[in-house]
């Protein structure tokens, strides 16, 4: 009797794994054509998944281990962005307000940009710089148009990382298609 129970459990487990694989295939095949083939995280991660060391005397200093060369560095834990020139010097740094969906720590590239659109939360935004997606949520930087911006509704999945307008202008000039975006903790 014990052998029969083990066989049934093994059979059910195999069926469940097969069903999950099939559903994953269906989901990827059903993705809109515009989203298929977008670059994901790089094959050679330049950043460890652990929190990058910080300079305790200067919290706005570029974290050690955030990569080399020209790049945008975004810390999901510190809600801060650094725009780093090809010489490795920080050209601009600023605080941001993340959406409800965070990208995973890794190295990405800017994949698309929009001068002005309406965000997933219904807020008019400008200087949109997109670099990845998490599930069906596109993640990128943007600046809200207008004086006041309310806190994001936690029930709405949004990957909009909001900047002040002046910071959004700097991001827009710096982060063109193909520029690396390094996400750290």
* Rg, C-alpha atoms of the chain: 20
DSSP secondary structure string for all residues of 64-119: TTS-SSSEEEEETTTTEEEEE-TTS-EEEEEE-B--SSPPPSEEEE--EEEEEEE-
**What is the pLDDT, as a whole number, of residue 58?**
84
Q: What integer pLDDT is reported at residue 12 of this predicted model?
A: 44
User: Which pLDDT score is estimated for 11?
Assistant: 44
Mode of pairing for the β-strands spanning 90-95 and 124-134: unpaired
User: What are the residue ranges in the chain where pLDDT is below 70?
Assistant: 1-53, 147-152
Helix, strand or coil for residue 139?
strand
Apex CA 139: angle with CA 22 and CA 82, to 5°?
140
Q: Is the pTM of this model over 0.85?
A: no
Is residue 73 within 8 Å of residue 61, measured between CB atoms? no
SS3 track for 3-60: HHHHHHHHHHHHHHHHHHHHHHHHHHHCCCCCCCCCCCCCCCCCCCCCCCCCCCCCCC
Q: Would you state the pLDDT for residue 24?
A: 40
């Amino acid at each position: 009797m014990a052998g029969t129970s083990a066989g049934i459990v093994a059979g059910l487990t195999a069926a469940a794994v097969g069903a999950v694989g099939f559903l994953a295939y269906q989901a990827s095949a059903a993705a809109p054509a515009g989203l298929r083939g977008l670059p994901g995280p790089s094959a050679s991660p330049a950043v460890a998944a652990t929190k990058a060391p910080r300079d305790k005397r200067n919290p706005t200093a570029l974290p050690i281990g955030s990569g080399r060369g020209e790049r945008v560095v975004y810390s999901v834990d510190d809600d801060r962005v650094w725009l780093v020139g090809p010489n490795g010097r920080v050209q601009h740094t600023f605080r941001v307000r993340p959406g409800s969906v965070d990208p995973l720590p890794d190295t990405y590239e800017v994949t698309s940009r929009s001068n002005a659109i309406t965000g997933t939360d219904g807020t008019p935004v400008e200087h949109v710089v997109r670099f990845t997606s998490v599930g069906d949520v596109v993640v990128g930087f943007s600046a809200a148009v207008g004086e006041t911006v309310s806190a994001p509704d936690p029930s709405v999945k949004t990957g909009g990382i909001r900047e002040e307008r002046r910071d959004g202008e700097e991001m827009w000039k710096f982060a063109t298609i193909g520029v690396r975006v390094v996400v750290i903790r």
